[in-house]
Amino acid sequence: MGYLRYLVDSLPEEASNIFDRAEAGLDVLYAPDVVVGETLYEVALGGEVAGVALQGNPNDVYRRTVTNGPIDVVALDEHAMAIYASLAEFYDST
């Protein structure tokens, strides 16, 4: 959801600061391949996020945010899935 909100400039301040740091080259944002794919799909469909219509071409969005932007795409392999599964348990316990 953060990636989509980034596209329509509606991130909460703390999240916006994280993206700003990545845009400045101070940090790297990693996004799972499935998140990037789903985001591009939403752009292609012209969905709506935070009351703002998604606009643009998925190729342009990919170029702007991944190729020339702050996001690095990571593949979800079996090891990564195990990590995400353990994070879900962490959030359930809080």
Q: What percent of the chain has pLDDT over 70?
A: 93
Tokens of 82: 């195990």
Contact 64, 22 (CB under 8 A): no
Question: CA 69 to CA 25: how far, in whole Å?
Answer: 9
Q: How many separate domains does the chain show?
A: 1
The range of the structural domain enclosing residue 10 comes to 2-92
Task: Compare 86 and 61 and report the one with higher pLDDT.
Answer: 61
pLDDT digits (tens, 9 = 90+) for 23-66: 999 999 999 899 999 999 999 999 899 999 998 999 999 999 99
Mean pLDDT of the region 88-94: 59
Average pLDDT of the chain, as a whole number: 89
Question: CA 78 to CA 75: how far, in whole Å?
Answer: 10
Q: Is 52 helix (H, G, I), strand (E, B) or coil?
A: strand
